[in-house]
Structure 1
C-alpha cells in the first residue's frame, strides 16, 4: 500500500467519522456509530491475524471479555480507575495471548480454528460460572469512566452518547493507522509472506513461529481494547461478550468486508452491526435474511465487499 493510499484511507475514514453526526436523525445513532467503531477495532485486529498472517481464530471474543471484565473487576477490587483498568486489561490480554498462542499456533487450518474456539469457550464459561467474582450469567456493573465530566471540563456540551462516539471514533482512527503502517513495514511483509507460504517464508529466514505469535498478540490487544470500550460505555458487562457466537460474528465481519483490508474491516463491521436493524421489518425471518445476504456476498464477491468492488471499479476505469 502506497503512502498516499494510506493517507487517503485515513482521511476518508476521519471525514466519515466527523461528518456522519451531521445526518443523524436522533441521539440513538450516536450509540449505533460507537458500536460500529468498537466492532471495527476488534475486526481490524483480525485483519492483522487473518488477512496479513493467514491464521484463523474463532476465539477472539474471549479477549474482548478479558478487556471488558478488567474494567469491572479492577476498579471494584483494586480501586483502579476504569480507563486505566482497560489498559491493564489490554496488557493482560497480550500476556494471555502470548501464553496461549505458543502451543496452539503450532497447529494449522481448522485445527487452529478449533483450538482457538476452545479458548474462547473456556473464557466464556469461566466468566459465567465464577459468580462469586464476575456476577455469573447476570454480569456485573462497570463504574463510570467520567467521560461526560471530562467533556464538560473541556467546554464541550456533549451528551454521553456523543462523547463515546467521539472517543470510539478516535480509537478506531488510531487502530487503523497502526494496522496500515504495519502492512508495509518489515514485520508486515514478513506476516504477508507467512500468508503466502509458511515453508517459503521459513526458507528465506523468517522466524515463522515468532511472527505468527506476534500477530496473535497484536490482534488480542485490539480485541481487548474494543471490549473495554464497549463495557465502559454500556456501564455493564455479561459473559455474552466472550461467547463463541460473538467470535464467529467478528470473523464474519472480517471476511465480509475483505480479510486483508483495513477499510474493508470497517465496512464489514458497519454492515453486520446495522444490518440486523435494517432487517427487523422481516420480523421472524430476520436471521434467515441476514444469512442469505452473507451467502450471496460470499458467492459473488469472494474476496470481500470492498476489495471486490474496488477491483471492478478499476476494471471499468481501464
Structure 2
C-alpha cells in the first residue's frame, strides 16, 4: 500500500512538473490553446473515469452536463448579470441536483440498458439547447462574457493555461484521495460484483449515485470555465459525439487509472492536430490508430506502458 501511495504521489508531482515546464516548449499561443483544451478534456475524463473505470457504470451523456455548465455561465452572466463565480457555482449545483435525480432510477439498470438511458439524457439536453433559441441562441450558440474574479479579468492563453493547469491538478488530487478512501474501496467493490458488495454491507445504490453526481459536477465546472475561455458556446459541445469522444479518451488512456484518463485526453486532443498532414484521410488514420491501440493494448495506453517498466524489488 505504501508503494502504491508513493507511486500516486510521484505521479501527481510528475504531472505538476509537466504542467510547470510545458509552456517553455510551446512556441506560440496556438499550442497553448491546444494544451488548454486538452486540460479541459482531462478534467472531465478524470471524473468520468471514476464512474466508468472504478464504479463500472457507463455514461454516454456526460457531454450534456458539460454543456449545461457552459450555458449556465453564459446565460446567467450575459443575460442576468450574475458574477461569473456565482454563475459557475449555480451551474454546478444545478447539474449536481439533476444528476442526483436522474441517477436514482437509471443506475438501477445495467449493461446496454444503462448506456441507452444515459444516452437519452445527453440527447434531451442537446435538443433543449438547440431549440430554446431565445435563451441559448439555438444552433448558432451564444457569446459568453469574460471570467472576472474580484474585478480582475482572466484574459489570454497564458493566464488560462495556468488556471486550467491548477484546476486539473486539483481534480486529480481529489480523485486520488477519493480512490484511497472508503468510498473508493466501495466503488471498486461495486465494479467487481454488486451482489458481493451488498453482502458485505456496501450500500451500492448510494455510492453509484454519489460518483455519478461527482463526475457530473466535474464536467459542469469544466464546461463553465471552457465557456468563459472560448467566449462562444454551441450545442455541439453537449451532443452525442462529444460524449463518445470523452468515453473514448477514458478507455484509450486506461480505465481505473486516473493518470491514464489524463493521458488519454491529452493524446486524443493532440492526435487530430498531428494527423492533419493526412488531409482527407485524417479520420481513417485516427480510427486505425484507435483500433490498433485497443487490439494490442486492451487495458489502455498508460497501464500497458506501465506494465513494461520493471517493478522494484520489495525490501
Measure the CA separation in 2 of the matches of 1:289 and 1:316.
37
Q: Is the 8 A contact 1:151 1:163 kept in 2?
A: no
Partner of 2:236: 240
Q: Does 1:218 align with 2:220?
A: no
Measure the CA separation in 2 of the matches of 1:280 and 1:150.
37
- What is the TM-score of this pair, normalised by structure 2? 0.95
The CA deviation string for residues 221-247 of structure 1, in whole angstroms up to 9 with x for no partner, is 111111112111001111011000000
Give the C-alpha shift of residue 148 in structure 1: 12
Describe how 1:44-193 pairs up with structure 2 within 5 A.
44-146=46-148, 150=152, 160-193=156-189
Partner of 1:308: 304
User: Any runs of at least 4 consecutive aligned residues in structure 1 with deviations exceeding 2 A, and if so which?
Assistant: 146-152, 314-318
The CA deviation string for residues 4-49 of structure 1, in whole angstroms up to 9 with x for no partner, is 2221111001000010001111121111111111000000001110
Measure the CA separation in 1 of the matches of 2:312 and 2:261.
24
Measure the CA separation in 2 of the matches of 1:6 and 1:273.
24
Q: Is the 8 A contact 1:258 1:307 kept in 2?
A: yes
Q: Is the 8 A contact 2:160 2:229 kept in 1?
A: yes
- Of 81-90 and 223-232, deviating more is 81-90
RMSD: 1.8
Runs (5+) with no aligned partner, structure 2: none
The CA deviation string for residues 32-67 of structure 1, in whole angstroms up to 9 with x for no partner, is 111111000000001110111000000000000110
Give the C-alpha shift of residue 317 in structure 1: 9.2
Partner of 2:224: 228
Measure the CA separation in 2 of the matches of 1:41 and 1:287.
25
SS of structure 2 residue aligned to 1:313: coil
Measure the CA separation in 2 of the matches of 1:317 and 1:140.
57
The CA deviation string for residues 276-297 of structure 1, in whole angstroms up to 9 with x for no partner, is 0000011111111111000000
Q: Is the 8 A contact 2:85 2:149 kept in 1?
A: no
Partner of 2:197: 201
Picking from 267, 273, 285, the partner of 1:277 is: 273
Q: Is the 8 A contact 1:147 1:163 kept in 2?
A: no
Measure the CA separation in 1 of the matches of 2:213 and 2:150.
32
Q: Is the 8 A contact 2:260 2:300 kept in 1?
A: yes
- Of 82-91 and 251-260, deviating more is 82-91
Runs (5+) with no aligned partner, structure 1: 153-158
Aligned residues: 312
Q: Does 1:13 align with 2:15?
A: yes
Measure the CA separation in 1 of the matches of 2:274 and 2:150.
30
Give the C-alpha shift of residue 114 in structure 1: 0.8
Q: Is the 8 A contact 1:148 1:160 kept in 2?
A: no
Measure the CA separation in 2 of the matches of 1:147 and 1:211.
34
Give the C-alpha shift of residue 91 in structure 1: 1.1
